[in-house]
Chain A
Amino acid sequence: MKENKTPRRPGPGHGPGMAPAEKAKDFKSAITRLVKELKSFRVLIILSLFLAVSGSILSIFTPNILSNLTDEITKGLVVNEKNLKELSTSISSSLSEEKMNNVMQDVLQMNLSQSNIINIMSSPEISDEDKSNFQNIINNANNENMLKDISNLPDSILQILFKDSNYNDNLITTRDKILFLKSLNNKDNINIPNSIANIIFDDIEINNTNISKNDQAVFISLMGNVDENTKPQELYGKIDKMPDSIKKVIKPFMDIEKIKQIALFLLILNLLSAVFTYIESISMTDVANKFARKLRSSISKKINKLPLKYFDNTTTGDTLSRVTNDVDTIAQSMNNSLATLVSAITLFVGTTIMMFVTNWIMAITAILASLIGFIFMFMVLGKSQKYFVQRQEELGNLNGHIEEIYSGLNVVKAYNGKKESDKKFMELNKKMYNANRKSQFLSGLMMPMMNFIGNFGYVAVCIVGALLTMNGKISFGVIVAFISYVRLFTSPLAQIAQAMTSLQSTAAASERVFEFVDEEEMDNQTSITRVLDKTKVKGNIEFKNVTFTYDGNDNPTINNFNATAKQSQKIAIVGPTGAGKTTMVNLLMKFYEITKGDILIDGVPIKELSRENIHDLFTMVLQDTWLFNGTVKENIIYNRENISDDRIKEVCKVVGLDHFIKTLPNGYESVISDNDSVSAGQRQLLTIARGMIEDSPFLILDEATSNVDTRTEELVQKAMDKLTEGRTSFIIAHRLSTIKNADLILVMKDGNIIEQGNHDELMDKNGFYADLYNSQFEL
Chain B
Amino acid sequence: MLKLIKNFNKKEWCLVLISFLLIFMQVWLELKMPDYMSEITKLVQTEGSKIQDIIINGGLMLLCAFGSLLSAVVVGYFIANLSSSFSMKIREKLFHKVESLSINEVKQFSTNSLITRTTNDITQVEMLIGMGLQLLVKAPITAIWAVTKILNKNWQWSAITGVAVVILLSVIGCLMLIVMPKFKIVQKLIDKLNGVTRENLTGIRVVRAFNAEKYQEEKFEEVNNKLTKQQLFNQKAFAIMSPIMYMVMNGLTLAIYFVGSYLIRDALMVDKLSLFGDMVVFSSYAMQVIMSFLMLAMIFMMLPRAQVSASRINEVLDTEITVKDGTLDKNITDEVGTVEFKNVSFKYPDAEEYLLKNISFKANKGETVAFIGSTGSGKSTLINLVPRFYDATSGEVLVDGVNVKEYKQEFLYNKIGYVPQKAVIFNGTVTSNVSYGDNGKEKNELQIKEAIRVAQATEFVEKMDEKYDSHLAQGGTNISGGQKQRLSIARAIARNPEIYIFDDSFSALDYKTDSILRHELKKYTKDATSLIVAQRIGTIMNADKILVLDNGTCVGMSTHKELLKSCEVYKQIALSQLSKEELANEGK
Contacts and interface: CB of A to CB of B under 8 A. Distances in A.
B62 interface: yes
Given A429-B92, A779-B522, A616 B261 contact: no
B110 interface: yes
Contacts of B512: 576, 771-772, 775
Select the residue from B49, B109, B250 with max chain A CB neighbours within 10 A.
Answer: B250
A72 interface: yes
A589 B205 contact: yes
Interface in A27-71: 62, 66, 69-70
A577 B482 contact: yes
A710 B576 contact: yes
Contacts of B477: 315
Contacts of A296: 193, 220, 224
Given A611-B208, A776-B515, A408 B426 contact: yes
B272 A77 contact: yes
Given A420-B437, A577-B480, A777-B585, A415 B491 contact: yes
Contact of A335 (B62, B111, B235, B273): B235
A432 B513 contact: no
B86 to A, nearest CB: 10
Interface in A709-733: 709-714, 717
Contact of B99 (A311, A412, A712, A736): A412
Given A274-B243, A779-B519, A409 B88 contact: no
A735 B80 contact: no
A458 B114 CA distance: 51
A568 to B, nearest CB: 21
B165 to A, nearest CB: 18
A775 B420 CA distance: 24
A76 B211 contact: no
A368 to B, nearest CB: 15
A356 interface: no
B519 A778 contact: yes
A628 B200 CA distance: 9
22 contacts: A14-B130, A73-B276, A256-B265, A270-B254, A281-B243, A293-B224, A296-B220, A300-B200, A407-B424, A410-B420, A414-B413, A429-B88, A586-B205, A591-B208, A707-B507, A710-B573, A712-B374, A712-B375, A737-B577, A740-B579, A776-B515, A779-B522
Given A77-B264, A440-B84, A455-B33, A626 B535 contact: no
A1 B130 contact: no
Interface string A303-347: 110001001000110011001100000000001000000000000
Contacts of B68: 448, 451-452
Interface residues of A, number: 169
Interface in A366-410: 395, 398-400, 402-410
Contact of A440 (B83, B115, B424, B576): B83
Contact of B578 (A447, A705, A736): A736
A162 B286 CA distance: 65
Given A259-B261, A429-B88, A449 B438 contact: no
Interface secondary structure of A, over-half rule: helix
A296 B113 CA distance: 28
Contact of A615 (B111, B209, B375): B209
Contacts of A293: 224-225, 227-228
Interface string B212-223: 111111001100
Nearest to B272: A77
A467 interface: yes
Contact of B257 (A256, A263, A304, A425): A263
Given A74-B45, A270-B254, 5 more contacts: A73-B279, A297-B217, A436-B80, A706-B504, A713-B577
A608 B218 CA distance: 29
Interface stretch (B70-78, B148-156, B445-453): B70-78
A680 B535 CA distance: 13
B475 A459 contact: no
Nearest to A714: B576
B193 A779 contact: no
A3 B305 CA distance: 15
Interface in A253-288: 254, 256, 259-260, 263, 266-267, 270-271, 273-275, 277-278, 281-282, 285-286, 288
Nearest to A582: B205
A415 B438 contact: yes
Contact of B55 (A409, A463, A629): A463
B163 interface: no
Given A303-B200, A411-B436, A277 B211 contact: no
B348 interface: no
Interface in B452-483: 474-475, 477, 480, 482
A411 B491 CA distance: 10
A457 B390 CA distance: 68
A737 B491 contact: no
A771 B420 CA distance: 29
B542 A779 contact: yes
Interface string B551-588: 00000000000000000000011001111001001100
Contacts of A420: 436-438
Contacts of B51: 466-467, 470
Nearest to B416: A414
Interface string B37-49: 1001101111111
Given A73-B261, A737-B579, A779-B519, A639 B439 contact: no
A709 B375 contact: yes
Contacts of A232: 46-48, 273
A49 to B, nearest CB: 16
B410 A271 contact: no
B585 A285 contact: no
A275 B243 contact: yes
A135 to B, nearest CB: 47
Select the residue from B88, B111, B251, B475 with max chain A CB neighbours within 10 A.
Answer: B88
A432 B215 CA distance: 46
A445 B535 contact: no
B194 A410 contact: no
Nearest to B507: A706
Given A254-B264, A466-B40, A776-B515, A259 B206 contact: no
B564 to A, nearest CB: 14
A270 B251 contact: yes
A100 B507 CA distance: 130
Nearest to B119: A399
Contact of A300 (B47, B221, B491): B221
Interface stretch (A85-93, A236-244, A658-666): A236-244
A277 B239 CA distance: 9
A440 B130 contact: yes
